[in-house]
Amino acid sequence: MKKNLFWIFVVLFFASLACSLGQTPVEQTAPSLPPVSPTDDIFPATSVALPPPADPGAVIQPDDLIYLGAFRLPGESGNSSWDYSGRGLTYYPNGDPNGGEDGFPGSLFGVGHDQQQFVSEISIPVPVISQNMQELNSAETLQPFADITGGMFGETEIPRLGLQYLPDPENPSGGRLYFVHGQHFQDFEPSHGSSGLDLGNPQPAGPWIFDGYTNYVTSDYVFEIPENWAAAIPGVPRLATGRFREGVWGGRGPTLFAYNPSPDGNGLQAITPLLLYGTQQPGLTDIVSDENTQMAGYLEDDSWWGGAWLTRGENSAVIFVGTKALGRSWYGFANGVIWEYDCAEKNPPTCPEVPEWPYENRGYWAEDYQPQIIFFNPAELTSVANGQMETWLPQPYASLDLSATFFNPEINLADYKTDLAGAVAYDRERGLLYIIERLADEYKSVIHVWRIR
């Protein structure tokens, strides 16, 4: 009898999550506000109401995120720019040593133009709350764009580059940038590496292969695992990496794996799954999944671009940031024309005509999109790491719609804007969260800032 009641509860829990995450949002218009100090709570966080985790007092809730404003990115440098940027971002606490008097010390390393994937270091100006782009402060270039990979991956199609700074335990003022590289079509290719902090002489190491797992679940974002949580995972790994591949090739939700660079700097170790909505069969490029192993509210055209392991006081959360598909979803063209998988095999073929630009790209589409943060309980992910939960059982306990704070939270195919929210960086000491909004300042990205209570 108890077993039956347990499964009834699970079904009701997942059904509630699916209903909450899948709701079409009410259209919001962000107010036009003058610049204010970073401590003013002008945009209180609003969230989708979802069932809390087992210990809700231990997790960071969406209402704990206080919006501080945004800042603009600088101009071109090093033969690249911030146009069409947003793939990778990481916080460096020792950067810009003379810039901390405004309350935003340190610097950001970020990935520029999507097709080049070069990295630049910038200062962090005081964010401003305003819907007038001209009122925002601008970051300054500290190190111009450079290729930190040394060209080790060659030419790739629709590339991506995740980025995370990790200090050197034996030299707190040192450390390295750890990166992960991916592309549109992959199988089991080397994807991870690292570089020094001097972009003029990055001295890259790698590439290293993520043993046993397809690139469709490992080769996009990377972020730090805080020390106290790393101690709860076998091998005490300090980095987490993953990818969300549109469609079902990478499973039915964002993925996450813990790992450590090997001590000799020539590989990876302590690889441990934390989140995978499906199963990896040996040698198969695609993850095996079905409706029983999917994230609640999953749609094929979801797009999760970054994440962070947040800690603040006794509370914590693992978040993913991206563009959530809403409403009806289909495979075909953005104007609603459906392309059946077997249309070319029929006699006669039933494939529709390809629409004119800008609707000619075939893929997964949805009725509407929303920039979102989804929140996971880290305790569930460590349970997965220790073999106490299946990799597809953790579910988001809340989500946060970023539309009210974004400048232009709309897809624009004519400008090749198919994603709204980009990469993430986190200043753990001060609880400052940095999130990229893509193509907000004409073709450049803008960085939004939140403080966690």
Whether the predicted pLDDT of 117 surpasses 60:
yes
Contact 433, 65 (CB under 8 A): yes
pLDDT band of 347, cuts 50, 70, 90? very high
Domains of the chain: 63-452 (2.115.10)
Strand order of the β-sheet with 192-195 is 160-168, 171-182, 192-195, 205-208
Beta carbons within 8 Å of 197's beta carbon, 6+ residues apart: 92, 165, 174, 175, 176, 177
| Gap between the Cα atoms of 223 and 162, Å rounded | 8
Contact 378, 229 (CB under 8 A): yes
The half-sphere exposure of 224 on its side-chain side, counting CA atoms within 13 A, is 20
- Mean pLDDT along residues 90-114: 94
| Gap between the Cα atoms of 28 and 407, Å rounded | 12
- 3-state secondary structure (DSSP) of residue 326: strand
Whether the predicted pLDDT of 105 surpasses 80:
yes
Nearest residue to 33 (alpha-carbon basis) of 67, 9, 5, 3 = 67
- Mean pLDDT along residues 21-29: 35
Whether the predicted pLDDT of 223 surpasses 60:
yes
Tokens of 153: 């991956």
| Gap between the Cα atoms of 317 and 450, Å rounded | 15
The half-sphere exposure of 355 on its side-chain side, counting CA atoms within 13 A, is 15
Nearest residue to 51 (alpha-carbon basis) of 23, 22, 21 = 21
| Gap between the Cα atoms of 435 and 80, Å rounded | 21
| pTM score of the predicted model | 0.89
Nearest residue to 28 (alpha-carbon basis) of 298, 346, 409 = 409
Tokens of 388: 């106490």
Higher pLDDT, 342 or 54: 342
Whether the predicted pLDDT of 37 surpasses 70:
no
- CA 441 to chain CA centroid, Å, is 20
* pLDDT for the residue numbered 55: 65
154 burial class (0-12, 13-18, 19+ CB within 10 angstroms)?
A: exposed
> pLDDT (tens digit, 9 = 90+) per residue, 247-260?
899 999 999 999 99
| Gap between the Cα atoms of 199 and 445, Å rounded | 21
| Gap between the Cα atoms of 215 and 186, Å rounded | 6
- CA 175 to chain CA centroid, Å, is 23
| Gap between the Cα atoms of 138 and 114, Å rounded | 21
Looking at the DSSP bridge assignments, the partners of residue 272 are 258
* pLDDT for the residue numbered 51: 53
* pLDDT for the residue numbered 251: 97
- Mean pLDDT along residues 214-233: 96
Nearest residue to 265 (alpha-carbon basis) of 180, 200, 208 = 208
